[in-house]
Amino acid sequence: MRQAVLTCAVLSAVTVFACPCQAQNPPSSDPDEARIEDVITASHILTNEGILDSFGHVSARSAKNPDHFFMPRAMPPALVSRADIVEVGLDCKPVDPNAPRLNGERYIHCQVYKARGDVQSVIHTHDLAVIPFGLTGIALKPVLAQAGFLPPQVPLFEVREANASEPETKRGMLVLNATLGDALAKKLGAGPVVLMRGHGSTVVGSSLRQVVFRAVYTEVGARLQTEAMRLGPVTYLTEEETVATTNTIGTQIDRAWFLWLKAARKRSMAG
Amino acid sequence: MRQAVLTCAVLSAVTVFACPCQAQNPPSSDPDEARIEDVITASHILTNEGILDSFGHVSARSAKNPDHFFMPRAMPPALVSRADIVEVGLDCKPVDPNAPRLNGERYIHCQVYKARGDVQSVIHTHDLAVIPFGLTGIALKPVLAQAGFLPPQVPLFEVREANASEPETKRGMLVLNATLGDALAKKLGAGPVVLMRGHGSTVVGSSLRQVVFRAVYTEVGARLQTEAMRLGPVTYLTEEETVATTNTIGTQIDRAWFLWLKAARKRSMAG
Amino acid sequence: MRQAVLTCAVLSAVTVFACPCQAQNPPSSDPDEARIEDVITASHILTNEGILDSFGHVSARSAKNPDHFFMPRAMPPALVSRADIVEVGLDCKPVDPNAPRLNGERYIHCQVYKARGDVQSVIHTHDLAVIPFGLTGIALKPVLAQAGFLPPQVPLFEVREANASEPETKRGMLVLNATLGDALAKKLGAGPVVLMRGHGSTVVGSSLRQVVFRAVYTEVGARLQTEAMRLGPVTYLTEEETVATTNTIGTQIDRAWFLWLKAARKRSMAG
Amino acid sequence: MRQAVLTCAVLSAVTVFACPCQAQNPPSSDPDEARIEDVITASHILTNEGILDSFGHVSARSAKNPDHFFMPRAMPPALVSRADIVEVGLDCKPVDPNAPRLNGERYIHCQVYKARGDVQSVIHTHDLAVIPFGLTGIALKPVLAQAGFLPPQVPLFEVREANASEPETKRGMLVLNATLGDALAKKLGAGPVVLMRGHGSTVVGSSLRQVVFRAVYTEVGARLQTEAMRLGPVTYLTEEETVATTNTIGTQIDRAWFLWLKAARKRSMAG
């Protein structure tokens, strides 16, 4: 008789995904724990979707204390789990002085949360599809229904300008202090995305899942615009089209999130 | 103690694909159940082949009642199973008033089935390879033997024209009502495919498997034409070539279907 | 104690690849069986490497009877196994009159084997990287050390010329008879590859593994030449370079074959 | 009866990655064994990241005897394990006269280690993203923060010049002797990367993990520069930017290494 006894724990390890004993836990009733869970999931999703590499990061503002936010310690987002999440103040210091080392570029998050009370989540990417726009100064614009959240021209942060008064040996590319973070937040303005020349992008929004959606469709839009510009002059979305379409699609964010979650779980590298 | 016996059912979950006990069920003898099975499979195949994202949808007309068709509720096609299929009338209302929420863009399907008695299946994609053609107005044309079903120039639906008489706040990109669906169906005409600017495409045909084949090879043809146009002037298929070739290849659709099915099963995210 | 008993057969199904009980059988001592095994493996490899789709095919001449060759019945190469292999004569008829249905384009193989006594294997692809060259008439040339087997200009088969005397309804794209096969073989000449406009390519050589190597590196070379031509004028290999390099790399074919075999086994869809 | 007990060892084979009993061994306390382990891991990582094919190779200088280095025998890097590693002298001969056959292009490694006392590791790639730069003579330059280690213009090795005095039949593309290796090392100069026309690149550095990082981000930078050049004139990093950024990112190499390691283990083809 061909049979084997496997405990649920073992089967889960084998199947990763399909085992009934591996059903998702219900989301936490603690609003901050729920946000932390989403930070972890978003880190896995965005790696799996090719938006984050070893170096990008995802954060969410605390629901209980809007002057705090949660982000992973300095590590690849693909591998983040609960123990890696650090609570950070808007002064960019961890609440727990014994917290593990944070990303050098945490100032992106602090200064954006400071400048934008409406922002509940920030994602910093090294998205390869948007970088050519920053390198050439070609404006990234909305070309696709799902990218209707983009402004008529996505702003571009030129770190060289922000670094002009730094000593020569500090004129790097990274956002390693509050001054550069403020300059980035200023360039972002009231919008959803700012490109960073030679570096990537920063994406923000009123919920973490919205920001994940925006990060993915900024990338898809960038790829489409690049391809289309090589074929001929491009028809961009009108402002009416962006507003009306985003109102509709904005209600469907969980639909995409749920698929990306399934895909990320299937190819998970965490654990 | 949580334990599982490695029966065939469990092994199927583990191996996804290779287990002899996981042989496909014979197709249903009920013609509508057979069509529903194909809608589910096509949803998985087209996600796996990169044609559908979280938002596209597949439908098939009822074999028993040509005024009805079957399509999944509003959800990612990759995850569709039998319980998600809704029977819909040509008035675009579910037959069962308690049916789960449908896709807002179901009017694509209703209005095409109304206008085209010959159409047995409709697929709406956000196919990234065809969108640049719609964005630039460059005509998509047949370049490949397997894409010989394409007309000399694939028509392009400009939603802006169809929206001209809408109030400003309703001039979006999506086909959310019968008027827009009718305009799309009119642009499709008697053909197999219509492009949708900034949005994707709609593909139709006389059987679901034919439409899946057409959706995949529209995408392959679009990629090839894009690449070729960057190299130099392109030789397109003559009408003779499209007709003669499609007559031959049209008999081979199940061959591709069977491979795509195997590949989709192997990487399934459903269940 | 966490343990489970699994028979080798079951473990093989689970692990696909790593189980010691799934060690490869030694190659057959019958030279034709060894060639048939390579036809099967090559069919899987070339699908996995993205060279073959549902419709391409691989064949090998019989070692015992050079007027016969082996090719799979009409089916996706990814799924071919021993039972699918048919012995075919140079008249393009199966040796066994009860053999399963063959590919319509088997004339590619018959006519090339007839014209080229040196050829031991033929592969017909719908390789997407080479098709843009055929569509534009841009000459595919050797740009890469591993593609040094390519002639200074790869010939292009224009089926339209070969079809000129056919009745209008038969002027398709496919090589469905001996006349078209002869025209293709003539265009191939003494070389390793011929492109087919709007269709793909045919690759030949003195051993099946050599032809697999050539098929893969024709594709890689095509991709590189396409990218390079967009950057600026391209330096092609000199004839000296192609000869000297191919002499060296020609001895290393099994090295690539073995890696591709491992990769194909890991992602196998057969069985 | 062939049976296997699902011990940790067997489960590791099944799950590849997630099993707690599959924790990595601690790195060897023998510095040369630690370097050899990194050569093996780097070979797997760089295949998985698409930088190495069947033919590239990775080496590391001996920590104990700087006139020796370790590299795999002639085989696909994806499949390398401990038994395949050969200790080689700077005369390009294996220390053990019974060592298995080495790569013909081992002279790349020997001559670079001879010329560059600072170099602790050498990687030779056939990286498809950089080859178009070599084919066209377009200079590869730093465009991305993570590629700040690149010089203002990456040098290009033209084997044709180095081969000018060879007999005609030896004017190939490969670096098969010390003379060609010396010419390559001379073109590399004091830098981190040299491109090789129609062939690939050679990447060096002060530690193996640094060289892996450089190989990956040379590829990423090449892809970005290619895309950007098609959109418009490109802003490259200033020298200040490359220096300041590389000082920061240079401390983060293990972060990327760890992720690539996890990904490579998950999709491992070795064993």
CA atoms of D111 and D93, how far apart (whole Å): 12
Residues of chain C whose beta carbon is less than 8 angstroms from a beta carbon of chain B are 4, 6, 10, 13-14, 16, 53-55, 74-76, 78-79, 104, 126, 128, 131-133, 135-138, 160, 168-174, 176, 197-199, 226, 229-230, 269, 271
pLDDT at B26: 64
pLDDT at residue A12 is higher than 70: no
Where residue D9 falls among pLDDT bands split at 50, 70, 90? very low
Chain A partners (3+ C-beta pairs within 8 A): B, C, D
CA atoms of D217 and D236, how far apart (whole Å): 15
pLDDT at residue B190 is higher than 90: yes
- Sorted by sequence, the CB contacts under 8 Å of residue C151 that are 6+ apart come out as C142, C191, C192
CA atoms of C243 and C263, how far apart (whole Å): 30
CA atoms of C142 and C156, how far apart (whole Å): 15
Select the more confidently predicted residue: B17 or C202: C202
Q: Is A169 exposed, middle or buried (0-12, 13-18, 19+ CB in 10 A)?
A: exposed
Cα distances (angstroms) measured from residue A40 to each of A47, A59, C225, C242: 11, 9, 42, 52
| DSSP secondary structure string for all residues of chain C | ----EEEHHHHHHHHTT--GGGPPPPPPSSHHHHHHHHHHHHHHHHHHTTS--SS-EEEEE-SS-TTEEEEE-SS-GGG--GGGEEEEETTS-BSSTTPPPPPGGGHHHHHHHHH-TT--EEEEE--TTTHHHHHHTPPP---SGGGTTS-SS--EE-HHHHTTTS-GGG--SS--SHHHHHHHHHHHTTSSEEEETTTEEEEEESSHHHHHHHHHHHHHHHHHHHHHHHHS---PPPHHHHHHHHHHHGGGHHHHHHHHHHHHHHT----
Specify whether the CB–CB gap between A200 and A127 falls below 8 A. Answer: yes
Give pLDDT tens digits for A86-111. 999 999 999 999 999 999 999 999 99
CA atoms of D149 and A115, how far apart (whole Å): 34
Nearest C-alpha neighbor of C45 from the set C262, C251, C246: C262
CA atoms of A102 and A69, how far apart (whole Å): 13
Give pLDDT tens digits for B191-211. 999 999 999 999 999 999 999
Select the more confidently predicted residue: C73 or B6: C73
Give pLDDT tens digits for D105-122. 999 999 999 999 999 999
pLDDT at D21: 28
pLDDT at D74: 97
Select the more confidently predicted residue: D247 or A13: D247
Cα distances (angstroms) measured from residue A3 to each of A8, B10, C8: 15, 10, 12
* DSSP H stretches of helix in chain A: 8-15, 31-48, 107-115, 131-136, 159-162, 178-188, 208-231, 239-249, 253-266
CA atoms of B135 and A117, how far apart (whole Å): 36
Name the percent of chain C lying above pLDDT 70. Answer: 89
pLDDT at residue A144 is higher than 60: yes
Contact between A2 and C10 using a beta-carbon 8 Å cutoff:
yes
pLDDT at A23: 37
pLDDT at residue B105 is higher than 70: yes
Q: What's the CA dihedral at B266, B271, C3, C9 to 10 degrees? A: -30
ipTM for the complex? Answer: 0.89
CA atoms of D149 and C174, how far apart (whole Å): 52
Specify whether the CB–CB gap between B173 and B199 falls below 8 A. Answer: yes
Give pLDDT tens digits for B41-82. 999 999 999 999 999 999 999 999 999 999 999 999 999 999
pLDDT at residue C115 is higher than 80: yes
pLDDT at residue D23 is higher than 60: no
pLDDT at B116: 98
Specify whether the CB–CB gap between B135 and A224 falls below 8 A. Answer: yes
Select the more confidently predicted residue: D2 or B186: B186
Select the more confidently predicted residue: B179 or A18: B179
Residues of chain C whose beta carbon is less than 8 angstroms from a beta carbon of chain A are 2-7, 9-10, 14
Task: Tally the residues of chain B.
Answer: 271
CA atoms of C61 and C207, how far apart (whole Å): 9
In sequence order, what are the beta bridge partners of B86?
B71
Name the percent of chain A lying above pLDDT 70. Answer: 89
pLDDT at D82: 97
- Sorted by sequence, the CB contacts under 8 Å of residue D251 that are 6+ apart come out as none
Q: SS3 of A189, please?
A: coil
* For range B217-227, the mean pLDDT: 98
Specify whether the CB–CB gap between A86 and A36 falls below 8 A. Answer: no
* For range A124-138, the mean pLDDT: 98
pLDDT at A25: 57
* For range C135-150, the mean pLDDT: 98
Other Cβ atoms less than 10 A from the Cβ of B114: the count is 17
C144: closest chain D residue by CA: D198
pLDDT at residue A2 is higher than 70: no
CA atoms of B89 and B84, how far apart (whole Å): 16
Set C33, C105, C166, C240: catalytic member: C105
Q: What is the pLDDT of chain C when averaged over all its residues?
A: 90
Name the percent of chain B lying above pLDDT 70. Answer: 89
| DSSP secondary structure string for all residues of D124-151 | EE--TTTHHHHHHTPPP---SGGGTTS-
Distance from CA of A6 to the nearest CA of D (A): 9
Contact between A4 and C10 using a beta-carbon 8 Å cutoff:
yes
Q: Pick left, alpha or beta for residue A99 (phi over 0 → left; psi -120 to 50 → alpha; otherwise beta).
A: beta
- Sorted by sequence, the CB contacts under 8 Å of residue D51 that are 6+ apart come out as D123, D125, D127, D215, D216, D219
Q: What is the pLDDT of chain D when averaged over all its residues?
A: 90
Nearest C-alpha neighbor of A58 from the set A6, A116, A9, A123: A123
pLDDT at residue A7 is higher than 80: no
Give pLDDT tens digits for D203-258. 999 999 999 999 999 999 999 999 999 999 999 999 999 999 999 999 999 999 99
pLDDT at D29: 87
pLDDT at A3: 30
- Sorted by sequence, the CB contacts under 8 Å of residue C25 that are 6+ apart come out as none
Where residue C25 falls among pLDDT bands split at 50, 70, 90? low
Provide, as residue numbers in chain D, all residues whose Cβ is less than 8 Å from the Cβ of C140.
none
Where residue D267 falls among pLDDT bands split at 50, 70, 90? confident
Give pLDDT tens digits for D124-177. 999 999 999 999 999 999 999 999 999 999 999 999 999 998 888 889 999 999
Specify whether the CB–CB gap between B48 and B263 falls below 8 A. Answer: yes
Other Cβ atoms less than 10 A from the Cβ of D233: the count is 10
Specify whether the CB–CB gap between B232 and C138 falls below 8 A. Answer: yes
Contact between C131 and B15 using a beta-carbon 8 Å cutoff:
no
Provide, as residue numbers in chain A, all residues whose Cβ is less than 8 Å from the Cβ of D225.
135
Contact between A198 and D238 using a beta-carbon 8 Å cutoff:
no
Q: What's the CA dihedral at A145, A146, A152, A158 to 10 degrees? A: -150
Distance from CA of D166 to the nearest CA of A (A): 43
* For range D38-48, the mean pLDDT: 98
CA atoms of A240 and C220, how far apart (whole Å): 45
- Exposure string of C131-158, with b = 16+ CB inside 10 Å and e = fewer, is bbbbbbebebbbbbbbbbbbbeebbbbb
Specify whether the CB–CB gap between C17 and C265 falls below 8 A. Answer: yes
CA A85 to chain centre: 15
pLDDT at A177: 96
* For range C68-91, the mean pLDDT: 97
- Sorted by sequence, the CB contacts under 8 Å of residue C32 that are 6+ apart come out as C62, C63, C64, C70
Q: Give the containing element (helix H, strand E) for D243.
A: helix D239-249
